[in-house]
Amino acid sequence: MTDALVRSQRAHRASVEVATADMAQYLQEVLGQKLTAYIADVADHKAVGRWASGKRKPQPKAEERLRSAYTVFHLLQSVESPHTVRAWMVGLNPQLADESPATALREGRFKDALAAARAFLAGG
């Protein structure tokens, strides 16, 4: 198995095994509450804090976006620093027609964001 495949499998497994509250708390810590809310496509950024505390659960579509963001973040963090990954999330990305990965995740283009993350790790 290649290193890239192993990293992808580990990131996927992490996103499947993590509890929703723990995932929301982690993303809130590394991306910030507003960016996490943006990716989840929720208007109230304080909802992220309620998810992180376990007081509420996100709607299914928001949870899907969060899990995808968590997968991408873990994949990139296997090689890069959290600071670099956050910058990658908000920066214009040539693999995404110069849109940010955060926007792609918000729009439900999970495969595109994951492919862009893999390309970044491969040096692109």
CB 60 within 8 A of CB 17: no
Tokens 């620093």 found at: 81
- Tokens matching residue 23: 């995932």
The domain tally of the chain equals 1
pLDDT of residue 124: 62
Look up the pTM and report it.
0.92
Q: Which domain does 58 fall in, by range?
A: 3-121
What tens digit of pLDDT does each residue of 77-108 get? 999 999 999 999 999 999 999 999 999 999 99
- Tokens matching residue 12: 């996927």
pLDDT band at 70 (very low <50, low <70, confident <90, very high): very high
92 by Cβ neighbours in 10 Å (0-12 / 13-18 / 19+) ranks as exposed
What tens digit of pLDDT does each residue of 24-60 get? 999 999 999 999 999 999 999 999 999 999 999 999 9
